[in-house]
Structure 1
Amino acid sequence: MPFAPVRSSRLFRSDLSPSVVALDGPFRHEHIHTRGIRLHAVTAGDPANPLLLLLHGSFAGWFDYREVIAPLAAAGYHVAAVDARGYGMSDKPPSSYGYDIRNAVGDVSGLIRALGHGSAVVVGSDTGGSVAWTLATSEPERVRALVAVAAAHPVDLRRAIASRPWLYPWLLTRSLLCRLPSAGIKRLQRWAPAMYRRQLRLNTTSSYHRSTHFREEINLRVTAAGISSTGPAVVRNNRLLLTSLPLAWLREQVVAPTLLLYQEHGAWPHLARRSRDRVTAGVTVEQVAVPHARNLPHLENPTGFVTTVLDFLAREA
């Protein structure tokens, strides 16, 4: 179905049907059973081709990748953009159980196998990137290549913030807000649309802010956040950015070719050095900035994003 924007008075209602994100396009909507839950994935391409998995961040959903799914599939990949546990059309367990990093990694690992593959090219943005990095270190056999879209391993991000906190004011604010008591979070709910707008403005360019795409994306993101039972999942998902990891996972390194889609300004050069060190010596690690975009190139410059990712994968083939 095409996306029908809700009226502003209905924003962040928290009682909307998951069908509001069942957008039409050159792809298929599927529900994949794995590890006792159903995850909604939007797929395209021949299932016999290598799998390319797209993981969204805390303020988004599968639809963040809607413009890049078909081009990546046309290049010879079985592409799947997934709604994380608690988001969109995926199952929403009623309790806090299952929203930690172990289960987030397990969900993605299980999804790869349920889609008929042993491994995947894993692309992650924001908290989806946190999960992708952690999967690549804890279950390296599942990741044939890693693409981090302005995202870092949770341990590396925590250490980077500890060493230079003034570079990460918004990430610190997010971390504090998502750890407030339930009563405090409920009081902040009226500000949720403004927080969604701020998140998108901080991560995109000024030219994108003046476009109709920006307004459409804000409306889509806030509408998706208003799906029944999604609010608690958004709060818990935000915690994955700086989550604690099991001791056995702290020092593990990435052994797959890695592409860092980072900007060459602000906090990113500082963080990129730590990310490079997370990749095992002798394994390819590249850092690229997609032209005319900041931290969400799949939204701002889908063509440039697809070209950059495919060029990297072609060099590693």
Structure 2
Amino acid sequence: MALEIEHTHLPIRGLNLHVAQVGKSDLGTVLFLHGFPEIWYSWRHQMQAVAAAGYRAIAPDCRGYGLSDQPPEHEAASFDDLVADVLAILDALDVPKAFLVAKDFGARPAYDFALQHPERTRGVVSLGAPYSPGPMPFYDRLPEGFYIHRWRVRTTTHL
């Protein structure tokens, strides 16, 4: 039997961010960070499994995605903003430490959060985006035909 996923909006750094959560933190908390162009809903099945195993599962819609507010100057939003949002979400929900599970676009903020806030991190799991220290020529490292290349070609040819 699936547990009911609760939805709320948290005032985070001047924006209202949508957060989905389920379960109790008997064993700890797992924070899921979605990829591009996804929302919290991508993690719904994993959230249920984590909650059934005794963890609290939290999945926000990152700023500008899903039911979360758009930043006023979306071009100025950075990965540092996403890291600061993760910290603020954990603070708002009284979570002292969390496991971070991220995929795709969410991997870099997860890695950066763990490096900047090791005292708040229990572990990191990343899907689809390996850790690469330092400045990364992101697009040059992606395999030919990777969907981000196709998306970039499509959007730049239509501008």
In the superposition, the TM-score normalised over structure 1's length comes to 0.44
Counterpart position of 2:8: 30
CA apart distance, 1:128: 0.5
Identical columns (%): 31
List gaps (5 residues or longer) in structure 2. none
Q: Tell me if 1:168 matches 2:110.
A: no
Q: 1:44 aligns with which of 19, 22, 32?
A: 22
Task: Give the SS at the match of 2:73.
Answer: coil
CA apart distance, 1:130: 1.4
* Residues 47 and 39 of structure 1: CA distance in aligned 2, closer, same or farther (over 3 Å): farther
Structure ranking higher in helix proportion: 1
CA apart distance, 1:35: 1.8
Q: 1:138 aligns with which of 89, 95, 116?
A: 116
In the superposition, the TM-score normalised over structure 2's length comes to 0.82
* Residues 157 and 150 of structure 1: CA distance in aligned 2, closer, same or farther (over 3 Å): farther
Deviation sequence 1:7-53 (CA, Å, 0-9, x none): xxxxxxxxxxxxxxxxxx72111112222222111100125651100
> What root-mean-square deviation, in Å, do the aligned CA atoms of Structure 1 and Structure 2 show?
2.8
Task: Give the SS at the match of 2:45.
Answer: coil
**1:47–1:116 Cα contact (<8 Å) kept:** no
Larger radius of gyration: 1
Counterparts of 1:157 and 1:104 in 2: how far apart (Å)? 17
- Listed as ranges, the matches of 1:217-228 within 5 Å are none
CA apart distance, 1:61: 0.9
Counterparts of 1:176 and 1:154 in 2: how far apart (Å)? 22
Q: Which amino acid aligns with 1:94?
A: P
Counterparts of 2:39 and 2:14 in 1: how far apart (Å)? 21
Counterparts of 2:80 and 2:149 in 1: how far apart (Å)? 24
* Residues 174 and 38 of structure 1: CA distance in aligned 2, closer, same or farther (over 3 Å): farther
Structure ranking higher in strand proportion: 2
Q: Which amino acid aligns with 1:168?
A: P
Task: Give the SS at the match of 2:16.
Answer: strand
* Residues 172 and 91 of structure 1: CA distance in aligned 2, closer, same or farther (over 3 Å): closer
**1:69–1:79 Cα contact (<8 Å) kept:** yes
* Residues 91 and 124 of structure 1: CA distance in aligned 2, closer, same or farther (over 3 Å): same
Deviation sequence 1:202-255 (CA, Å, 0-9, x none): xxxxxxxxxxxxxxxxxxxxxxxxxxxxxxxxxxxxxxxxxxxxxxxxxxxxxx
Counterpart position of 1:82: 60
Counterparts of 2:113 and 2:151 in 1: how far apart (Å)? 21
Counterpart position of 2:99: 121
- Listed as ranges, the matches of 1:89-238 within 5 Å are 89-96=67-74, 99-153=77-131, 155=133, 158=136, 168-169=143-144, 170=146, 173=149, 177=153, 184=156, 187=158
